């Protein structure tokens, strides 16, 4: 699928949010409720599902969506699973995500949000042991503990 510089698909769809597969069935009704009349479809984006809407969301709508995603991850059932809503900026622009971290024993490589870990030091130690040299990491404090955000360093260096 071809995209323009704003991430809008040639077919008129624009990415609204990337969600963990477990959160897709919650995110789609949220999008349809917040933005009636929009069409929604999903495409795989690594470990996540990119939910795209037609017509694409405008900046105020993205901010509104993010506010509702923050409320969603604060619900007890998602809070217990360490769900995170966030904005991610990289060389491709800024996107909205609602994700469940991968538990450290289940991590099988590649970009991911992993955790929780009891301390920042435990998170950093775990990340330092990841063998894939193409990845960089940040540690992030969340309500459930510390998380490791693994991302492709090469894309950032190319910018």
Summarize pLDDT for 85-141 with one digit per residue, the tens: 999 988 778 999 999 999 999 999 999 999 999 999 999 999 999 867 788 899 999
pLDDT over 50 (residue 43): yes
Q: Same domain for 70 and 144?
A: no
| Boundary-marking domain end, from 56, 84, 100 | 100
Which structural domain, as residue segments, surrounds residue 143?
102-159
- Residues in CB range of 48: below 8 A, 6 or more apart: 18, 19, 20, 21, 97, 99
pLDDT over 60 (residue 4): no
Q: Same domain for 107 and 96?
A: no
Domain count for the chain: 2
More confident residue, 35 or 109: 35
Within 10 A of 66 (CB to CB), how many other CB atoms are there? 17
pLDDT for res 59: 95
């Amino acid at each position: 699928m071809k995209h323009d510089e704003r991430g809008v698909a040639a077919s008129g769809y624009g990415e609204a949010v990337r969600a963990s597969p477990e959160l897709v069935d919650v995110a789609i009704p949220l999008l349809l409720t917040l933005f009636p009349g929009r069409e929604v479809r999903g495409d795989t984006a690594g470990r996540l599902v990119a939910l795209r809407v037609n017509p694409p969301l405008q900046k105020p709508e993205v901010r509104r969506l993010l506010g509702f995603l923050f409320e969603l991850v604060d619900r007890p059932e998602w809070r217990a699973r360490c769900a995170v809503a966030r904005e991610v900026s990289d060389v491709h622009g800024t996107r909205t995500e609602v994700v469940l971290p991968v538990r450290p024993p289940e991590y099988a490589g590649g970009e991911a949000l992993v955790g929780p870990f009891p301390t920042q030091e435990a998170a950093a130690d775990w990340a330092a042991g990841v063998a894939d040299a193409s990845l960089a990491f940040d540690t992030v404090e969340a309500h459930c503990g510390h998380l490791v955000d693994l991302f492709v360093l090469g894309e950032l260096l190319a910018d």
